[in-house]
Amino acid sequence: MDIKEKVKALPASPGVYIMKDSSGSILYVGKAINLKKRVASYFYPGRMLSDRIDSMAAKVSNIEHISTSSEAEALIYENSLIKQLDPKYNVALKDDKGYPRLKITVNEKFPRLFITRKKIDDGALYYGPFTSAKLLRQAVIMLRQLFPLRRCLKLPKKVCLYYHIRQCPGPCAGKIDKAGYSDTVSELKLFLDGNRKGLIDHLAKRMIEASGREDFEEAGRLKLRIETLSSINDKTVSYKPIEEVEELKSFLGIKTPIDTIEAFDVSNIMGESAVGSMVSFHKGKSRKSEYRKFKINSVTGIDDYSMMREIVSRRYKRLIDEKKDLPDLILIDGGKGHLAAASEELNKLGLADIPVIGIAKEFEHIYSKSGGEPIILPRDSKSLHLLERIRDEAHRFAIGYHKRLRSKDIKISELDGIGGIGPKKKAILIKHFGSVKEIKRSDAEKLSGIKGIDERTAKRIIEYFKK
């Protein structure tokens, strides 16, 4: 296989590439967000390369690669491979004082991981320097999820939020001993050294030991980490759905499985064509066959809380009557008021044991039935990403149903006075814009860009509303 064929065989995904000459000597190690595109750039006709790199490209006879989940992870592997292989054409950073590094404070009882631009003789371990501070920050987020270590400068007296979302093992409260903590530090070092196989072997050994002493919870956590690292070549996203659900379960303090989550939203414009939606997710993945939509029957005017009561009551009365499985968690799109309304209906139905939470749009605060102050999750929390994804799907489903109803139900409206606008065009406009108010706000370009509405009709609409 010649070089062109080898380049074509590369994946169009993040990773590290290793260029070798005909004798097998390492010429160059680099990282890329798109391996195929980056490596191909060395061999384009008329390429603009430095004399040094042009000379190197002429000697390349073989290309190997390591796929990664992100460019940030590729940055870590590139650094470790350059240290190990000392490639001939990689340029060392001569003045590296201003470049960021990773620091593990192995000189402390419970080491921390963070980014620093200073390297001092303090007994800590330093990795780098790295050329991209932005990618290094992204890499640290990933590393803290895989290898949770404390973040606090001084150990507090009780665990913080990071413990509850499994990004800190809680040494401050004795949740982990020195030996267990040191294991995590050792695993992090293996990863930063680029020794993925050694890391997986080490985790497998720990998993077997945990199973032997019947610590199945610890064995399960280790198994999940092994699976994550083992499948990292094929990953295109940072997390797997099961990881998100497990973190959510830990954060909410729920011991029983969270397999099924159902989420509710209501949609109306000034109380008109009010509808509700319910979406279902199983183990982090949507189940569209279980989605349900509701036309509000018992509420008039603008009363979102009563609408929420109606759709929650209708959903679970039916499940009880039909003796079908109930969800493990209920998510309400809204704050304290919406959550209280839903909780009251669940209590009436004898379903007070089902966990129910609300997510408020403005600041993405989480509310629970226990009341009190809202729970604020870190922006990089897998739990928050999962809840946002489910909430947004419920909102999308409700809005879609609401638009369909309005387009069907409109018989007499302000649009009826416009010449050339019959029921068909009226339905097209309402379906696209959602309301007459939005149609009024639109210009001729937006109106004529809709299939079925020509420029002449668009001008008529503009002129009509001007009058």
- Token reading at 287: 């189940």
| 3-state DSSP assignment of residue 375 | strand
Angle between helices 71-85 and 178-192 (to 10 degrees): 80
> Which CATH superfamily hosts domain 410-466?
5' to 3' exonuclease, C-terminal subdomain (1.10.150.20)
Which residues are bridge partners to 293 per DSSP? 277
> Which CATH superfamily hosts domain 260-404?
UvrC, RNAse H endonuclease domain (3.30.420.340)
Where in the chain are the domains?
3-85, 101-194, 260-404, 410-466
User: Do 260-404 and 410-466 fold alike per CATH?
Assistant: no
Looking at residue 245, what is its pLDDT? 82
Global model pTM greater than 0.75: no
Q: What string of DSSP letters covers 107-176?
A: TSSS--EEEES---SSS-EEE---S-HHHHHHHHHHHHHHS-----SS--SS--HHHHTTSS--GGGTSS
Looking at residue 229, what is its pLDDT? 66
Q: Are 328 and 256 in contact (CB under 8 A)?
A: yes
Residues lower than pLDDT 50 in the chain: 232-239, 270-271, 410-412
Looking at residue 239, what is its pLDDT? 43
| Dist. CA 388–CA 380, nearest whole Å | 12
Looking at residue 318, what is its pLDDT? 94
Among 76, 87, 85, 63, residue whose Cα is nearest residue 31 = 76
CATH topology of domain 3-85: GIY-YIG endonuclease (3.40.1440)
